[in-house]
Amino acid sequence: MPIPEEVTGDEIDKDVRQELQSLPKTLAEDVARNLVMVARLLDEDPEAAYGYSRVALRLASRVAAVREAAGFAAYANQKYSEALAEFRAARRMTGSVELWPVMADCERGLGRPEKALDMAGAPEVHKLDKAGQVEMRLVAAGARRDMGQLDAAIVTLQSPELASNSVQPWTARLRYAYADALLAAGREREAREWFAKAVESDRDGSTDASDRLAELDGVEFMDALDEDEGETHPGSGVESAAAKDGDKDGDKDEDRGGEDD
């Protein structure tokens, strides 16, 4: 696959670059350039990112960073079984637990929410940093919702991190997931309050909380001009703000994979 000339491979994280030092210099450069393309395209063009990840995987399948990148690219394309295999491989190579939440979310993607809940209660969770533990909580709540256990999902999300006034990288997604669960349970007044809190903390637009809040407030949008007559028509092109699920639990939240016990 073509790679722009300005992509040198030096753009990758220093830890990944260090991993690639085990490869011959020219091969390491080729792998690095493909990994850069995966990172650049993962959000805007997941299919293309997946293609670059397969090239990197073909060149250096014994490098943990390559297996991890391939896992995220597969995950972004909803290839959950493939993502599962890559995340497992990366974890075997590194011994790290940081992929545990996205692996559990993959279990959800494969239709196994019970397995995701088992992973949420595993000892590995205690080894995660705060961000990882919050991510695991989001995945567990999503699994509860998959099983139709709305009240349990709401309780799962109730945590010191949710109650805190401090804004952290995970705050908006956690508040959004809580608001969405409340709304699904018919608790609209509380849901509106938490969507508003999600908007306040969503500094980089990682959720569509503002759209969900507008929808609850009955805000509608109209096309400015009618193409035929050049004037606004009442009822023409009117639609409510779209409601969509901004929680990836995976999601990434969020990242979906699973681990053999």
| 126-174 residue pLDDT tens | 999 999 999 999 999 999 999 999 999 999 999 999 999 999 999 999 9
Per-residue pLDDT at 65: 96
The answer to whether 227 and 194 are in contact (CB under 8 A) is no
91 phi/psi in degrees, rounded to 5: -70, -40
218 phi/psi in degrees, rounded to 5: 80, 20
**Cα gap 46→165, rounded to integer Å:** 34
The answer to whether 111 and 126 are in contact (CB under 8 A) is no
Per-residue pLDDT at 91: 96
Per-residue pLDDT at 222: 57
**Residues of the chain where predicted confidence (pLDDT) is lower than 50:** 224-261
- Give Cα 103 distance to the centre of its chain: 12
The answer to whether 40 and 51 are in contact (CB under 8 A) is no
* Alpha-carbon distances of 156 from 83, 94, 213, rounded to whole Å: 26, 30, 23
The answer to whether 102 and 87 are in contact (CB under 8 A) is yes
The answer to whether 258 and 119 are in contact (CB under 8 A) is yes
The answer to whether 64 and 88 are in contact (CB under 8 A) is no
* Alpha-carbon distances of 24 from 31, 59, 60, 88, rounded to whole Å: 11, 11, 11, 26
For the segment 2-11, what is each residue's pLDDT rounded down to a tens digit?
Answer: 999 999 999 9
